[in-house]
Structure 1
Amino acid sequence: MEVSRCKIHVDLTKDTETMNSAVRQVCKAVVKEWANVDEHVMQVSHITGGITNLLLKVAVSSNGISLESVTVRIFGPNTETVIDRQRELLAIHHLSTSGFGAELIGLFENGMVQSFIVARTLTPSDISTPKIAARIARELRNFHEADIPMSKEPQLWVDISKFMSEASTISFEDPKKQETFLSISFLELLEEIGELKRACDSLDAPIVFAHNDLLAGNVMFNYETDKMYLIDFEYSCYNYRGYDIANHFNEYAGFECDYSLYPSKDVQYFFFRHYLNGLSSKKVEITEAELSKLYIETSCYALASHIYWAVWAILQAKFSSIDFDYLDYFFLRFGEYKRKKQEFLSLMPSHQINE
């Protein structure tokens, strides 16, 4: 299906009505059926989402009855410093044809319009429940088996290196932010990244097409139809299996970073069993060795997830207009990395041998 495009830019710094008017114009331009729809019957409302973009629902209604809806995603300012938009669009195109996520309807200067998914966005407490966790595990295995025509090289360390190069050169006009920024030791970060990469590389983890941002807000579930949707593929690319699973486990903590909610070994094993079984109707025999390997792999890459989002947060602190304390988020993620580093790395056979 051909994707419509328009040259409209939605300015996030404008007042709500001005911004909403621009959003309506975008929808009229890219949703062909809406070209002649009166703006007054287009209702714009916010959708709960992540901390990178602004998500909106636009509904066409008549006499107070909603007839149809689309989702409008407005990219955060300067997000191209952390997101490869060409890679994202390629992934969306192929994933949507394979039944993942929403259909891409149109593009505008700083965002996209997609079909509206009738389902509830999940919360951190939802994704940790056994029923939902089992479904996510199976859906993620299916996602990992997608064959997307892009570079099969894992991008984790490439992206972290890019983030580090960008983050080390910025400065803040706000004196308090600048003071906080200057307290970050990039030398320490580089040393930790180097050590962690060597540890992770020794695992020889499988490379899969990974979501890379499977937080609760990127999982939707329709309880009436029993249908689950993985959405938002901004960070999706080929990456390490353990990284994608570990990143999801870290998201049990939510944006508040309550890592007391990080899943126990037993809870992880429950997830692994459903993941390894996949969508198969037959129960696959899973060995203790497979579970142990995945547990070690995931534990190591959980540390990489903390590093990735910690460095990412420095850039967001500089460029994002979303009301979120990104510098505090850096310290929360890097702090958890340091807190769990010895425990997680001690699980690795190579680490045990070297002790």
Structure 2
Amino acid sequence: MLLQIVCSFPLFCFSDMKEPRIAAEIAKQLQKFHQVDIPGSKEPQLWNDVFKFLKKASVLKFEDNEKQKRYEMISFREIQDEVKELKDLSDLLHAPVVFAHNDLLSGNLMLNDLEEKLYFIDFEYGSYSYRGFDIANHFNEYAGFECDYNLYPDKDVQYHFFRNYLSDRPSEVQEQDLDALYTETNTFRLASHLYWALWALIQARVSPIDFDYLGYFFLRYGEYKKQREFCFSLAQGFLSSLRSG
């Protein structure tokens, strides 16, 4: 019986998440998850956490000289300016606040083949946050453990996910609703990179795990800068079209 139970919950591979049938199921389950009502404050925690991480990350000291030299290459004034500008831009989108998983990577998905049901696990980072952040954070995890962000889903793959997220009748979702969620998600795509980049800096100092967290900071912040122009332009163009419409 134990073997049967274990086998009915196979480990997810990050590449499984983009398979259309599974992506559709993840989208449907995420929509249901976002309807959960958790007692307490409904205030989104994202930017509070980011500013908290930034404050802690900016005053670190490393005993290892090489780590300290790499750390001193970081401009925290630049990061603070980026955080403030991104927050101001994302606020204009008025993204819905939901109870978010905030860490929906492949390892936190389990499929029960016997019941043909998908389950989310590990709610350590769960909190009220922005819908677009939770979705974008999931899309960023398409990069897998090799952190190949070229695997971030293209527009067609995202729209497949959005249709299944937005309605039980995916084919009836309006194009304007897809465009709005696409803009929202890809604006918060940048927030996901900033969040985990700053988180990684703190882990580089305090975590006992043998992992190059400092390198991970540079990877995520580098991807933020790489995608910044596209994501900012997308959001600004969308907002401009709303004003002119």
Give the TM-score normalised by the residue count of structure 2: 0.92
SS of residue in 1 equivalent to 2:234: coil
Return the letter of the residue paired with 2:28.
R
Return the letter of the residue paired with 1:333.
R
Q: Quick one: which of 212, 222, 234 aligns to 2:112?
A: 222
Q: Quick one: which of 225, 229, 239 aligns to 1:342?
A: 229
| Greater mean deviation of Cα atoms: 224-233 or 192-201 | 224-233
| Greater mean deviation of Cα atoms: 326-335 or 218-227 | 218-227
Which runs of 5 or more structure 2 residues have no equivalent in the other structure? 241-245
Q: Quick one: which of 53, 64, 74 aligns to 1:163?
A: 53
In structure 2, relative to structure 1, the CA distance for the partners of 1:156 and 1:117 (3 Å cut) is farther
Return the letter of the residue paired with 1:297.
E
Q: Distance in 1 between matches of 2:197 and 2:236?
A: 27
Structure 2 residue 173 is the aligned partner of structure 1 residue 286: yes
- Aligned Cα RMSD in Å? 2.2
Return the letter of the residue paired with 2:187.
C
Structure 2 residue 100 is the aligned partner of structure 1 residue 210: yes
SS of residue in 2 equivalent to 1:255: coil
1:331 is matched with 218
Q: Distance in 1 between matches of 2:170 and 2:203?
A: 44
SS of residue in 1 equivalent to 2:110: strand
Does structure 1 conserve the Cα–Cα contact (< 8 Å) formed by 2:112 and 2:118? yes
1:317 is matched with 204
1:304-349: CA deviation from partner (whole Å, max 9, x where unpaired): 0000000000011111122221111111110010001011111124
1:28 is matched with none
| Greater mean deviation of Cα atoms: 340-349 or 134-143 | 340-349
Q: Aligned-pair distance for 1:352?
A: 7.2
Return the letter of the residue paired with 1:146.
V
Return the letter of the residue paired with 1:130.
P
Summarize the alignment of residues 1-355 of structure 1 with structure 2, pairs less than 5 Å apart. Answer: 118-277=8-167, 280=168, 285-349=172-236, 353=240
Q: Distance in 2 between matches of 1:67 and 1:286?
A: 42
Does structure 2 conserve the Cα–Cα contact (< 8 Å) formed by 1:160 and 1:308? yes
Whichever structure has more strand as a proportion of its residues is 1
1:162-199: CA deviation from partner (whole Å, max 9, x where unpaired): 11111112211111111111111111110110111111
Q: Distance in 1 between matches of 2:55 and 2:131?
A: 26
SS of residue in 1 equivalent to 2:60: coil
Return the letter of the residue paired with 2:219.
L
Q: Distance in 2 between matches of 1:122 and 1:235?
A: 19
Return the letter of the residue paired with 1:214.
L
Does structure 2 conserve the Cα–Cα contact (< 8 Å) formed by 1:345 and 1:351? no
SS of residue in 2 equivalent to 1:257: coil
In structure 2, relative to structure 1, the CA distance for the partners of 1:149 and 1:321 (3 Å cut) is same
- Percent identity over the alignment? 55
Q: Distance in 1 between matches of 2:89 and 2:3?
A: 54
2:243 is matched with none
In structure 2, relative to structure 1, the CA distance for the partners of 1:121 and 1:150 (3 Å cut) is farther
SS of residue in 2 equivalent to 1:221: strand
Give the TM-score normalised by the residue count of structure 1: 0.64
Does structure 2 conserve the Cα–Cα contact (< 8 Å) formed by 1:242 and 1:301? yes
In structure 2, relative to structure 1, the CA distance for the partners of 1:274 and 1:338 (3 Å cut) is same
Return the letter of the residue paired with 1:275.
Y
Tell which has more relative contact order, 1 or 2 (C-alpha 8 A, sep 6+).
2
Aligned residues: 241
1:216-267: CA deviation from partner (whole Å, max 9, x where unpaired): 1111112333121101111111110000000000000023220110000000
SS of residue in 2 equivalent to 1:307: helix
1:83 is matched with none
In structure 2, relative to structure 1, the CA distance for the partners of 1:166 and 1:67 (3 Å cut) is same
SS of residue in 2 equivalent to 1:239: strand
SS of residue in 2 equivalent to 1:189: helix
Does structure 2 conserve the Cα–Cα contact (< 8 Å) formed by 1:346 and 1:352? no
